[in-house]
Amino acid sequence: MLRRKARKDDGAVVWHIYRSAYREVVERQFGVWEDKLQKSAFDEKWCQGGFEVLTLNGETIGAVWITWEENLIQLREVFLAPDHQGQRVGFQVLSEILAKARYEGLMLRLRVLKQSRAVRFYERLGFKHCGETVTQYWMEAV
């Protein structure tokens, strides 16, 4: 698995993966997936830049977006195509980011939908709950 800086022309493929990765959990949590609303939210994030594309054997399989803030690293997005979930790709990506955060002496923080199966995944990686909203948990790891 390779990570590379996203290019503008990656947007359509990454959107397709984003939609397939998030649709089930959004429907479970909110009852419906509104494609137009979700595409608008994705486009807003994508336009900010900073995404990295995850590839395996030349195929785009997901993306990650982290931002460096004053005293922490914020994991803004990480998602994989459903057929690549559960194959330790996410573990590899998060382990690399955690190692970088630890090396830099920074906290790694993320938020995750409460209905997401990823909550348990993050807990297994050592993330602790540090706050919540009605729909999301905030989690962090050192």
- Assess contact for 76 and 65: CB atoms under 8 A: yes
pTM: 0.93
- Residue-level pLDDT, tens digit, the chain, 142 residues: 999 999 999 999 999 999 999 999 999 999 999 999 999 999 999 999 999 999 999 999 999 999 999 899 999 999 999 999 999 999 999 999 999 999 999 999 999 999 999 999 999 999 999 999 999 999 999 8
CATH superfamily of 2-141: Gcn5-related N-acetyltransferase (GNAT) (3.40.630.30)
Which 3 state secondary structure label does DSSP give 141? strand
Contacts of 14 (CB under 8 A, 6+ apart): 6, 46, 51, 53, 60, 63
Contacts of 129 (CB under 8 A, 6+ apart): 137, 138, 139
